[in-house]
Amino acid sequence: MTRTVMLGDVAFASPPRVDDFGNRWVLTGIDGWDDSGSGVRSSGEARPQSHGAFDSPAYRTGRSISVRGEVLCLSRASAAAAVQTLNSVGADGQRLDVVVADDDLPRMSSSARVADRPMIGWTVPTRVVYAQEWWAADPLRYGDTINESTSFPFAAGGLEFPLFTDGVTDTGYLEFGAQGSTGRVTVTNIGTAATSPQFEVTGPTPPFSIVHVESGRRLSFAQSVAAGDRLLIDSATGLVVLNGGDVDYSGMLTRAEWSPVGPGESASFAFIPDGPFADGTLTVIFRPAWW
């Protein structure tokens, strides 16, 4: 089995990863990944003058991830450089992706911040030992992003005459012209947890709707999108932003019936113009999710 754990640009692996200088980066352990890493919280109140408590939903906490590794170097200078590299990983407190690539599992990642100071040992001149705790506010692990695009639906094509030509020269086969569009995108969640897609709409479009075909649930945006503009609808947060800005346009959603995709489910989304046809596109940005 080969497993690689990436912390930003730093990667430990088992069997070891050999860098450009011949140093071996060895993964010695990761906790909180295969064994959940998140606890459970509940707000159940005790029953007064009675046994037990009132039932209430149970929710998962964030995920705690502990990564351990060592660097086996060819020289003390290489070990010194490795120490400085490891000290800098996540040191600014910003989130980075903890990515686990395993031969027998889908590639998964979790967005996390450092939760404690790194434990770095350098008592042997050419061997560096590393351990670091990471905290992910979202307990889910996510697969690689899948982008699927469509235009508004339109009919096109059909058998062209004269037969066996492209209208100019003989081709020897039947020509059916340009392909139309169903205006639909289908995605599949191969994970074990429900996940919420993002929808990126690129103008020009009239006001439009995005319909979850299986349920009929609908997102309807009451404003046109200009040519070249990009409107992003995040169904996980409910935010709607234009061209990556910080203004929230969610108030322009006249219907906001969000449709998460459950574990093992496929979902089809239809892109429907609520006005004159235009050449805009819908891209469904989707990541399978695992507990």
Give the mean pLDDT of the chain: 91
Closest CA to 272 of 230, 216, 229, 234: 216
Q: What are the two backbone dihedrals, phi and then psi, of residue 154, each rounded to the nearest 5 degrees? A: -155, 150
CATH code for the part of the protein at 146-290: 2.60.120.860
Question: pLDDT tens-digit profile of 119-133?
Answer: 999 999 999 999 999
Residue boundaries of the structural domains of the chain: 3-40+58-140, 146-290
CATH code for the part of the protein at 3-40+58-140: 2.40.30.200
228/207 Cα distance (integer angstroms): 15
pTM of the model: 0.84
Residue 163 pLDDT > 50: yes
Q: Which residue has the higher pLDDT, 13 or 54?
A: 13
